[in-house]
Structures are given as C-alpha cells and as structure tokens.
Structure 1
Amino acid sequence: MRTYDLSPFWRSTIGFDRLLDLVNDTVDDGDTFPPYDIERISEDQYRISLALVGFTLADVAITAERSTLTVEGRKANEDERDYLYRGIPVRPFRRVFNLADYVQVKDATFEDGLLLRIALAREVPEALKPRQITIDVAGNDHQKSDRTQAA
C-alpha cells in the first residue's frame, strides 16, 4: 500500500477538504465480497448492482447518510444443515460507497432474490445551476432602453 503526502495540496487549496480526505482515506482492504457493479445510466443517473445470492430481503439493510451509502448484510438465522460442500458465501458484509455532492438514492430493488439494484441520481438545486445574467449599461439610461427594445 502506498502512502501519499497531500500536505502540498492542503497548503494551496480552499474548500477541497472533503475531496482530499476521500483521497487520503481510500484504502483497498482486499475484500471483494459481495461482488458489485457501478453503472452510469445517463449524465446524472447511476446504478449499483450487488450479487447477494443466499441472502433474503430481511437479511439486507441500506442506509443513506449525507455523502455515503452503506449496504449491510447478515443472515438472521443460520440453518442447521449438514453441508458436504458450501460454495455460496453468506458471510456478513458491509460495503460503503462515497457519494458525490447532490447524488441521492432514488430506490432499491431486490430482483429474483439474487441481485440488489440501487438507483442513484444527481439532482443539483436550481439555485446552484448555471443561469444567464443580463448586462446593463451603467450611467446611460438611453442606451439601456434602446437595447431593451431591440431585444
């Protein structure tokens, strides 16, 4: 694992604290369970799909908080079966996804008891979207009125 020194960025940036914390705290712990996909559906829509074979709807919990999405799974009661071979893993898991600003969880579906799909969308508030600014001519009311009539 490499460690990066981000102190030069801290000295020359303002307001990027969260981004630098994400870069600094990102750790690949090697745990690949459960397998998942992240898809971009359109410019502002995404979908996370997790393969949850062996889990039921009651075994899975999804929590959305501010800038994170957490999916947790734990078998409620383990069957007392006598397995000769157990190839379907059902161990407890906790998967955390960091969400960008204004990304919201729209819905979640559990398809055929195998695949958990979580729909996400970026919804930027109207006040923060780009808008056209009119330009007025300062000090000369005559030019302003001529320009308004021409438009």
Structure 2
Amino acid sequence: MTRVMQFNSPFLLGFDGLERLLDRVAKASDGYPPYNVEQLTSEKGEALRITLAVAGFSRDELSVTVEDNQLVVRGRQLEDEDRTYLHRGIAARQFQRSFVLADGIEVKAARLEKGLLMIDLEKPEAVRTVRKIDITGENKDEESAPSPQARVARGAV
C-alpha cells in the first residue's frame, strides 16, 4: 500500500516531523486502557484532563512521563507467584498509551482515584508576536548600511 504524503504543499514548510508524529499515533491504535479527554475551564488558559481506566493498578505500577512532546503513560502489573488460580479472567496486563502534546502544553498533575488515573494539562494563552523583517538593497553598500528605521531606533539620527 502506497502512503500519500499529507504535508507536501510548498506552503507548509518544516512540517516533516508532524507527519512522522501522525504515523506514530496511527500505529498506536490499541484500545487498552480506555480513556476520556475533557476540556476544562482555567483562568490561565486552556485546560485539559485525560482520564484513563486503570482498575487493578496501584500507584507504584503506573508511570507518567513526558518524552519530547509526547505524554506516555505506562502500566505494568507484576505476576503474583504465590497464588494458584482455578480460573483467570483478569490478566495482569501491561500497557503503554501515548498522547502527542502541542507546543506549550504542560502536564500539571496526575492522581489515581477509584481506579481512574487523571492527568491534568494546561496550555497557557499564546502571546502573539509580530516581527518586521528588514529588506536589504541590491547594492553591497546598502546591505551593510543600517536602514533609516534602524538608525532611528538606535537614536543615531
């Protein structure tokens, strides 16, 4: 099967990593453990909560890490060798669930309550910046000489 490039437009520059992220997310399609993503209100900006159903896991058997721009939740239950099961319907299962985080999103807290692991995220409001780029002239003398606006800004006029 041939894969179609999603970001091959000449107007989308520097998005190569985003396509790799989408590939990685598409491969992680296991449905365990089930989870919810909620949008919450926050005075600092956008807030999110990811809730994973991790019944049977203790705090020591779970880990929450941020690796680059990816939130990774891992669970690993250890086998209890002292027990003899007549029927085993609840398996000691390990998992890894990953979420790709946008730039600026911070993981604020994680807590385990009644078999639910809740991870709170926050994205502060973005500060919009506008930056003017000076255009230099065609002559070599003009390229090295500061523009009139730059001279005014430095107080050289």
TM over 0.5: yes
Preserved CA contact (<8 Å) 1:54 1:89: no
Unaligned runs of 5+ in 2: 132-157
Give SS of 2:103's match. Answer: coil
The reply on whether 1:31 has 2:30 as its aligned counterpart is: yes
User: Aligned pair count?
Assistant: 130
The reply on whether 1:45 has 2:47 as its aligned counterpart is: yes
Question: Are the structure 2 counterparts of residues 12 and 64 from structure 1 closer, same or farther at C-alpha, using a change threshold of 3 Å?
Answer: same
Give SS of 2:30's match. Answer: coil
Q: What residue identity is the alignment partner of 1:106?
A: K
List structure 1 segments (4+ residues) > 6 angstroms apart after TM superposition: none
Question: Displacement of 1:31 after TM fit?
Answer: 1.7
Residues in 2 aligned to 1:10 and 1:65: alpha-carbon distance in whole angstroms: 29
What does residue 19 of structure 2 align with?
20
Question: Displacement of 1:30 after TM fit?
Answer: 4.3
Residues in 1 aligned to 2:6 and 2:75: alpha-carbon distance in whole angstroms: 37
What is the TM-score of this pair, normalised by structure 1? 0.70
Question: Displacement of 1:60 after TM fit?
Answer: 0.4
Question: Displacement of 1:79 after TM fit?
Answer: 5.0
What is the TM-score of this pair, normalised by structure 2? 0.68
What does residue 121 of structure 1 align with?
122
What does residue 107 of structure 1 align with?
109
Residues in 2 aligned to 1:29 and 1:115: alpha-carbon distance in whole angstroms: 21
> 1:32-86 deviations in whole A, cap 9, x for unaligned?
1111111111361100001111110110011112310111011134253333444
Give SS of 1:13's match. Answer: coil
Question: Are the structure 2 counterparts of residues 66 and 87 from structure 1 closer, same or farther at C-alpha, using a change threshold of 3 Å?
Answer: same
Q: Please tell me the root mean square deviation across aligned C-alpha atoms, in Å.
A: 3.0
Preserved CA contact (<8 Å) 2:7 2:15: no
Q: Percent identity?
A: 34
Question: Are the structure 2 counterparts of residues 3 and 54 from structure 1 closer, same or farther at C-alpha, using a change threshold of 3 Å?
Answer: farther
